[in-house]
Amino acid sequence: MDGKKVSDYMATEIVSIPPDYTVGQARQELINSEFHGLPVAEGDHIIGFVTAKELLRAIDRPDVKVRDIIRVGTITVTPDMDIDDASRVLFRYGLRNVPVVDTDGKAVGMLSNIDIIRSAIEKATPNKINMLKTFLEQKHGIKIAVKRRIIPIESLRPTQHEVYADELRGRQYEIRKGLVEPLIVIQKNSHYVLVDGHHRVLAARDMGVRQFQAFVLELDRDVELGMERSAEELGVRTLDDVKVIEGDHHPLVRVATRLMKDDEKVSSR
């Protein structure tokens, strides 16, 4: 997971506007996009950047040209820049989006703070794997190799007996946005034991996905896993046995909702 570049996360469908666009035209273009600002370009070359704040300042002048409300030049990053370095650029300058340009100054993509968050989430997976690998090796006296490969969803054996419907919808949103965090599985003779990623894989299956990226732990000999035994006792043998809880929130959402309600109570006193 180390050494990820801006090119691994940037959006390549570039939405830019010419400097002769009016404020009214630029505002509508921004509304139709998923960004909080747009590059201003002549041809393929970036000459500036217009933000939502700049457009709001000029809202009573809808016929003014964009070139008249922006500063010439803008902060950019390059496709081969380390994603951690790019995140510092966005953080230091308080940016939500930044254009990605090549060595000739040609726009090749856009990087957003959502992309930065996605890169941070993906970095958490190797830590989970190392902890699990160390635990199993010490507990069972075995050696484990970790491989990354695409595996069929139908070959997965779940170890979690329930998931939350709202979290499934959230995972589907993430998948559509490109956050496809690999599963963590343990290889057995005829199947893979699903350790981490139940919401992800069920969300993907509902979207018609048949295969998923996974980090596969290969044990040097077969051992009985406690998580497998627990799942068997709960009657969970296939993904169809996993219960989907409707009408309640995933614990993460529940905590945030409870805090919000508590704040509301305080403010209403």
Distance CA 90, CA 112 (A): 8
Based on the domain organization, do 249 and 165 belong to the same domain? yes
Would 223 be classed as within a structural domain?
yes
Distance CA 35, CA 180 (A): 21
Based on the domain organization, do 109 and 176 belong to the same domain? no
Please report the pLDDT score of residue 125 as a whole number. Answer: 80
For residue 207, the one-letter residue type is: M
- Residue 179's CB is within 10 A of a number of other CB atoms, namely 18
**8 A C-beta contact, residue 54 and residue 77:** no
| DSSP category for residue 217 | E
Distance CA 226, CA 13 (A): 47
Based on the domain organization, do 154 and 105 belong to the same domain? no
Helices 165-176, 251-268: inter-axial angle, 10-degree rounding? 100
Angle at 98 between CA 174 and CA 123, to 5 degrees: 45
Which of 63, 97, 115 is the last residue in one of the domains?
A: 115
Tens-place pLDDT, residues 96-125: 888 898 888 788 888 988 888 888 877 778
Residues 6+ apart with CB under 8 A from 195: 132, 159, 183, 184, 185, 186, 217, 227
**8 A C-beta contact, residue 144 and residue 187:** no
Based on the domain organization, do 108 and 66 belong to the same domain? yes
Based on the domain organization, do 153 and 91 belong to the same domain? no
Instruction: Give the number of domains in the chain.
Output: 2
Please report the pLDDT score of residue 157 as a whole number. Answer: 96
Tens-place pLDDT, residues 193-230: 999 999 999 999 999 999 999 999 999 999 989 999 99
Residues in the chain: 269
Would 127 be classed as within a structural domain?
no
Would 136 be classed as within a structural domain?
no
Would 262 be classed as within a structural domain?
no
Based on the domain organization, do 102 and 166 belong to the same domain? no
- 223: domain CATH number is 3.90.1530.10
Based on the domain organization, do 239 and 151 belong to the same domain? yes
Determine the structural domain holding residue 12 and report its residue range: 6-115
- Ramachandran class of 187: left when φ > 0, alpha when ψ lies in -120 to 50, beta otherwise: beta
Would 263 be classed as within a structural domain?
no
Residue-wise DSSP of 147-210: EEEEEEGGGEE---SEEEHHHHHHHHHHHHTT--PPEEEEE-SS-EEEEE-HHHHHHHHHTT--
Which of 115, 131, 156 is the last residue in one of the domains?
A: 115
Tens-place pLDDT, residues 18-34: 999 999 999 999 998 87
Tens-place pLDDT, residues 29-56: 999 887 888 889 888 788 888 989 899 9
Based on the domain organization, do 180 and 101 belong to the same domain? no
Would 125 be classed as within a structural domain?
no
Based on the domain organization, do 97 and 41 belong to the same domain? yes
Residue-wise DSSP of 84-104: HHHHHHHHHHT-SEEEEE-TT
Based on the domain organization, do 191 and 109 belong to the same domain? no
Would 181 be classed as within a structural domain?
yes
**8 A C-beta contact, residue 90 and residue 113:** yes
Helix (H) or strand (E) holding 39: strand 37-42
Based on the domain organization, do 97 and 160 belong to the same domain? no
Based on the domain organization, do 50 and 93 belong to the same domain? yes
Would 1 be classed as within a structural domain?
no
* Pairing between β-strand 192-196 and β-strand 183-187 as defined by DSSP bridges: antiparallel
- 27: domain CATH number is 3.10.580.10
Is this structure's pTM higher than 0.75?
no
